[in-house]
Amino acid sequence: MSGVSSVSSSDFRQIAIRTEAGKAERLFRAAVSAFCSLTRPSRREIAQLEDLTLPLFDEVSVESRRYVAAALSECEYAPTALVRRLAEEPVEIAAPLLTRSNALSDIDLIALIGRHGLPHARAIARRKELNPTIADLIRALERPTLVKTPPPDTVTKLTPRPEPATKADAGRAASGEAAENARRRLRSMMRPAGDAADVNTFLGQPAYVRLRETALTGNAAFFQTALADALEIDFATARSVTGQSGYAALLAALRALDLSEDRAFLIAVAVYPGEFPHPQAIRLFLDRYRLLHREAALDKVRAWKAETLSRAIRDKADDTISRERRDASNGDDASSGLKAS
């Protein structure tokens, strides 16, 4: 960053003190410029910059955000929280960070593509050392037919004449095959490496692999079936775990399976995409996941199993009572018939 190389660490720490009310714009730029001039900033200085700039973020202009994004894209030790916040901006602002910043992990890039689609994906595609599976995903997104198969009703409405029906069917089949290719690309994300693939296996596949693949299909029933198998609970309980408005129950389920943070997050964002609209929501999930003791999560799963057993016993008792009442009713009818004859 030319022009600010003479700014020292002590100068950076004093910027907040020298500021005046109504100077948010100037402070925002000056703080980042001073930070970028530091050869090797300390954790404290990184935290200071975030504490100073994040509260000002909504008060500064688009031009200042663009300037800061460009400056931090060249910064080796850029503050992660500020970079993630800037990366959520429109691509006109975020592009330098999406293209160059090493503060964005593969998980961050996947989440950004999921939330912002092609504009962010195309900027990410220009990264020099891009994960090949993310590159495959972006190529799939570039071709809409690989991402979404038109529903039959839509195709029918768009082709009212009977003659093109054969062509429409052929196109639908081709689109369905392309969509399956896109799903395979998505499933290739975050493949487990080495022997640390998972905790338990079932049906010949590691639990995490099957949970991830079924979550990425977007079909709730598929994922619920995989979750029921992994936790050895019934389908109704698995459905109740993912049928809630928040991810608290799913978080306990994933922690009971002892999945790593990144794997748990990938599944959670696939099942509850609306719960992660900004980086702070992701950080909250990871904090909650770290703080949840596995034994507590296992206790939760045991409680689900106990409730399942209790429900089965109650249902069996109700069936027995109903059968006895039915038999008694049939016996009374038979007695009445004998008396009448």
pLDDT digits (tens, 9 = 90+) for 252-281: 999 999 998 888 999 999 899 888 888 888
**pLDDT above 80: residue 61:** yes
Please provide residue 64's backbone torsions phi and psi, each rounded to the nearest 5 degrees.
-70, -40
Q: Is residue 159 part of a domain?
A: no
Do 75 and 35 form a contact (C-beta atoms < 8 A)? yes
Taken as a whole, the chain contains a residue count of 341
Using a 10 angstrom Cβ sphere, with 0-12 exposed, 13-18 middle and 19 or more buried, the burial of residue 339 is exposed
| DSSP line for 216-256 | HHT-HHHHHHHHHHHHT--HHHHHHHHSSSSSHHHHHHHHH
- Write down the pLDDT at residue 243: 87
Q: Are residues 83 and 220 in the same domain?
A: no
Helices (H), 54-203: 62-73, 80-87, 91-100, 106-116, 118-124, 132-142, 152-158, 165-187
Q: Are residues 212 and 322 in the same domain?
A: yes
Q: In b/e form, how buried is each residue of 130-153, taking b as 16+ CB within 10 angstroms?
A: ebebbebbbebbeeebbbebbeee
Average pLDDT over residues 120-139: 87
Boundary (domain end) residue, out of 102, 127, 144? 102
Strand-pair partners of 201 = 206
Q: Are residues 328 and 217 in the same domain?
A: yes
The torsion angle over the Cα atoms of residues 112, 113, 117 and 121, rounded to 10 degrees, is 110
- Write down the pLDDT at residue 277: 84
**pLDDT above 70: residue 247:** yes
Q: How many angstroms separate the CA atoms of 167 and 158, rounded? A: 12
Count of domains observed in the chain: 2
* Strand ranges (E), the chain: 201-202, 205-206
Boundary (domain end) residue, out of 56, 76, 102? 102
- Write down the pLDDT at residue 21: 41
Report DSSP state, residue 160: -
Average pLDDT over residues 236-241: 90
Q: What is the value of pTM for the model shown? A: 0.44
**pLDDT above 90: residue 99:** yes
Q: Is residue 178 part of a domain?
A: no
Q: Which domain holds residue 223?
A: 197-341
Q: How many angstroms separate the CA atoms of 97 and 107, rounded? A: 15
Q: Is residue 282 part of a domain?
A: yes
Q: Is residue 43 part of a domain?
A: yes
Q: Which residues contact 231 (CB under 8 A, 6 or more apart)?
A: 238, 253, 256, 257, 301, 304
Q: How many angstroms separate the CA atoms of 93 and 114, rounded? A: 18
**pLDDT above 70: residue 197:** no
For tokens 């009310």, what's the residue?
21
Average pLDDT over residues 196-214: 63
Q: Is residue 171 part of a domain?
A: no
**pLDDT above 70: residue 88:** yes
Other Cβ atoms within 10 Å of 49 Cβ, number: 26
Residue range 130-143, pLDDT digits in tens: 888 788 778 877 76
**pLDDT above 60: residue 186:** no
- Write down the pLDDT at residue 336: 56
- Write down the pLDDT at residue 333: 58
pLDDT winner (highest mean) among 97-111, 142-156, 202-216: 97-111
Boundary (domain end) residue, out of 72, 102, 132? 102
Query: Which tops the pLDDT comparison, 15 or 61?
Result: 61
Q: Is residue 296 part of a domain?
A: yes
Q: Is residue 156 part of a domain?
A: no
Q: Which residues contact 153 (CB under 8 A, 6 or more apart)?
A: none
Q: Is residue 77 part of a domain?
A: yes
Average pLDDT over residues 292-304: 89
% of the chain with per-residue pLDDT over 90: 27
Do 64 and 25 form a contact (C-beta atoms < 8 A)? yes
Q: Are residues 201 and 81 in the same domain?
A: no
